[in-house]
Amino acid sequence: MDKHERRICIYSSLLIVLVVNSPRLLALRENGIIARYWQFDLVEYSFQFLYNLLFCLILFYINLSKDKSLALYLLKKRYSLYFLANIIVILLFIIIGSFIQANLFFENHLPGVVVRGYFVRLLFSAVLIGIIIRILLLLRESKLKEKENEQLKRFYLEAQLQLLKEQLNPHLLFNSLSSLSGIVREDPKLAQFYIIHLSKVFRNALEKSGTMLVSLAEELRILKSYEELLKMRYEKAFHFVITIDEHYLNFTLPHLSLQPLLENAIKHNAVSIERPLVITIYVEDEWLVVSNNLQEIISPENSTGIGLVNLNERFRLLKLKEIDIKKTKDTFLVKLPLIL
């Protein structure tokens, strides 16, 4: 039993004992019917009350504790043994309780009244306990199914995220190789350094391949290698500015969230020394903002169309929020939700 079930059992036991033993209080009326068969004695009543409470608690315990035999009978659907064991326990409590009370307080009642009283009280208590046990078992089944559903949802979520990340790596490779082809034509020597940094980018991606969320500090560190690739290709035509307070560096976001945004900016905008592309990253109201000056080209590079769609889906699954995309006459920006 968990803590919640134990509390229910204790409170239910107290309520049941109060209900089944309350008629005995009628013996306080000297001319009442109960007073003819039972003389009220506070010590005897206290014994009867506590004994009945012990009966309720034990019946709850042996039926709801997962490692006890009665619960195991129920789990294995051996219903005949389960009910037989409960009946034996109830009869033992009736016999032992009535024997003790009859011998300790024999002057307070007529012969045979104690046994009948215990039979009625404990049997009625057992019926009420059985109803409560059934309710608790139904709640257990409901919690178990809910837990299983949560596990299935988690496994499905992880599978979806893994699929999205597997889509992302080929997307990154496609764009990087496209850039490399241009550098090879322009400066073969520079292409060697490009390949070194490209290997770092993919090494970082592979090292964190099983990671869903990373800190903003880690994501910015990974982004540095990709930044070097862009600087080697565009030199003074590309500017990258990061203005983030240290307070936000421990906030988290999906792995490889920033790199697709840089790719997207390069792909859709003209980049030249006369018209440099400026990408800025900053935090605004706990949203990470990635913006660039807008200077769209008529025919952008070929694209698989995965970038922003992939990123938005990953944020929706992991953060339960979607990214915010805004486009003005001069600026294109993407806002990513951060969570500590």
The pLDDT of residue 174 is 65
Q: Which CATH class is domain 187-337?
A: alpha beta
The pLDDT of residue 35 is 53
Is residue 301 within 8 A of residue 234, CB to CB? The reply is no
Place of tokens 């306990």: 129
Report the SS3 class of residue 191: helix
Residue of 162, 132, 170 whose CA lies nearest to 303: 170
The pLDDT of residue 208 is 59
Lookup: tokens for 194 = 């490009």
| Polymer length of the chain | 340
Give per-residue burial for 118-150: e unless 16+ CB within 10 Å, then b. Answer: bbebbeebbebbeebbeebeeeeeeeeeeeeee
Q: How far apart are CA 230 and CA 197, in angstroms?
A: 10
Q: DSSP state, 296? A: B
Q: How far apart are CA 170 and CA 174, in angstroms?
A: 6
- Note down pLDDT in tens along the chain; length 340 residues: 778 888 888 889 899 888 888 776 655 566 655 555 556 677 877 888 899 999 999 888 888 887 666 767 776 777 788 888 888 888 999 889 888 887 887 665 555 677 888 888 889 999 999 899 889 888 888 888 888 777 656 655 665 555 555 555 555 566 666 667 767 777 777 777 777 777 777 676 666 555 578 889 988 888 887 787 778 777 888 888 999 988 899 998 888 788 888 888 888 888 888 889 999 999 998 899 999 998 888 766 555 555 677 788 878 877 778 889 998 888 999 999 987 7
Residues ≥6 apart with Cβ < 8 Å to 226: 197, 201, 259, 262
The pLDDT of residue 236 is 85
Q: How far apart are CA 21 and CA 15, in angstroms?
A: 10
The pLDDT of residue 278 is 92
Q: How far apart are CA 68 and CA 51, in angstroms?
A: 22
The pLDDT of residue 255 is 80
Q: How far apart are CA 241 and CA 191, in angstroms?
A: 24
Is residue 87 within 8 A of residue 81, CB to CB? The reply is no
Residue 106, burial from CB neighbour count under 10 angstroms (0-12, 13-18, 19+): exposed
Q: For the chain, give every domain's residue range.
A: 3-149, 187-337
Query: pTM value?
Result: 0.52
Packing angle, helices 259-268 and 216-234, rounded to 10: 30
Q: How far apart are CA 15 and CA 317, in angstroms?
A: 46
Give per-residue burial for 314-331: e unless 16+ CB within 10 Å, then b. Answer: bbebbbeeebeeeeeeee
Give per-residue burial for 255-264: e unless 16+ CB within 10 Å, then b. Answer: bbbbbbbbbb
**How many CB atoms sit inside 10 A of residue 59's CB?**
25
In degrees to the nearest 10, what's the CA dihedral of 231, 234, 235, 240? -50
